[in-house]
Structure 1
């Protein structure tokens, strides 16, 4: 069975923000949509009843992982512009390493936001197209990524999944998107978690990209982590 990494079990930023959110509406079940559920498990919070639903692209690797999982109440695979996402049905939407690997990323993100209740949270993790890791990932031919995958990543890591990296998969892209839709970014962090870093050849390639681009594509991080809040008031643009 493939390893699943839960964002809340680390006691990190996501867990803290969701606990604060739950404190404002106690004794209510937390409905969570996990978009990109191949690489993250649903939130696990003590003393909080949670019902998690998964949604992702219909990819053989993803389908195989989800068929072995028991931590989702239900899940849907397919074109994320079309899969069932009832409007205003979730308190939290986890977007886990998804935006960098799908086409029409803005349309997909808009649909995810439509499924979020007013005042709800988006917990977002993605690879940064503006990092050395992101550049290397998106310029490496798919056949070569498939050939090298198992030698570059830890055992059990799902993939290789597509590497699309549309402009939204960057800090500037996300800030512009959120500004245009009246969303509030409450937290933003940059981390290193790319699986290829775990092997010497991958780390060397990332360092070389950074050096060749004069650090325009830095090796200092590869992941962008954000907490985004959907506005509560009626005069905001509701999406």
Structure 2
């Protein structure tokens, strides 16, 4: 598949695409779902009417974080395979650092798509299984991840959470998923934001990249994608 050109500056990419969606809908209220809401920051969408719902796994660290938020109109925690999601009830679904830490990621993403209205946006931000950082994160023993966690992240960050990294959680995996579901990807960006990307972490990632002869790149650890569910009635049904 050809490379997708990103046409918005990173950092405001999701906000820009949400504002464009609101304009296309002639200013109607946007129903937004934040999947992985323990890791989301409050949306900054001036002059746009929204109703924001959060969903995530039910873990103590996640529950404490979600209960402290005052920007969600409603939220639910539980097994992401069965958390209540009404069909075609959201204009925008934002998935933030969720897919790489859960089992059955493809099934969960299919459920989220069922809750997305035709023409709606799926905004995905995740660690890339195919990058050197993702490799290190998923092979590091759980006890060592736990010992290092508080030294590497800001206070209040939920975790350490599981590092599952199923095949879906890579650039190639997401492109293949979109192809089989008839989805259109308009943006695909890479960035370096991982909490372990200090001096020691950067050296470890660079070493893995070198030993893999570039097969596991060190150029990024995060991928950000904007995906649209088509309006076309002839597109493959989700």
Normalised-by-shorter TM-score class: over 0.9
Query: Partner of 1:213 in structure 2?
Result: 212
CA distance in 1: counterparts of 2:94 and 2:194, whole angstroms = 18
Deviation at 1:32, TM superposition (A): 0.4
The separation in 2 between residues aligned to 1:166 and 1:184, in whole angstroms, is 22
TM-score after normalising by structure 1: 0.92
Q: RMSD between aligned alpha carbons?
A: 1.3
Structure 1 unmatched ranges of 5 or more: 1-9
- Deviation at residue 154 of structure 1 after TM alignment: 2.9
* Counterpart for residue 110 of structure 1: 110
d(CA) in 2 for partners of 1:167, 1:15: 28
Partner residue, 1:127: 127
Shift of 1:79: 0.9
1:96 aligns with 2:77: no
Following superposition, which runs of at least 4 residues in structure 1 exceed 4 angstroms of deviation? none
Distance 1:211 1:164 in 2: 24
Provide the residue aligned with 2:165 in structure 1: 165
- DSSP-derived class of the 1:80 partner: coil
State the shift of 1:217 in Å: 0.8
How far apart are residue 156 of structure 1 and its match? 2.9
Instruction: Give the distance between the partners of 2:225 and 2:216, measured in 1 at CA.
Output: 20
Deviations 1:192-223 (A, max 9, x none): 111111x3222222122112222211111001
**Quick one: distance in 1 between partners of 2:145 and 2:127?**
16
* Contact in 2 for aligned 1:34/1:95 (Cα 8 Å): yes
Partner of 1:76: 76
Residue in structure 2 matched with residue 183 of structure 1 by the alignment: 183
2:48 matches 1:48: yes
Contact 1:31–1:92 at 8 Å: present in 2 too?
yes
Aligned to 1:6: none
| Matches of 1:153 and 1:196, distance apart in 2 | 8
Aligned partner of 1:141 in structure 2 is 141
User: Per-residue displacement from partner, 1:19-70 (whole Å, max 9, x unpaired)?
Assistant: 1111111231111000011111343211101111001111111111011111
Alpha-carbon separation, structure 2, partners of 1:21 and 1:110: 21
- Conserved in 2, the CA contact under 8 Å of 1:32 and 1:42? no
* Map 1:221-236 → 2, pairs under 5 A: 221-236=220-235
**What SS is found at the alignment partner of 2:226?**
strand
Asked whether the equivalents of residues 209 and 215 of structure 2 are also in contact (C-alpha less than 8 Å), the reply is yes
Counterpart-to-counterpart distance in 1, 2:160 and 2:201: 15
Alignment partner of 2:31: what SS? strand
Kindly state the Cα deviation for residue 158 of structure 1 after the two structures are TM-superposed: 2.1
Number of equivalent positions: 229
Q: Using structure 2 for the length normalisation, give the TM-score.
A: 0.93
- Post-superposition offset of 1:165: 0.3
Indicate the larger mover: 154-163 or 135-144.
Answer: 154-163
Q: CA deviation at 1:98?
A: 0.7
Give the structure 2 partner of residue 238 of structure 1. 237
Q: Verify the 8 A CA contact 2:194 2:222 in the aligned structure 1.
A: yes
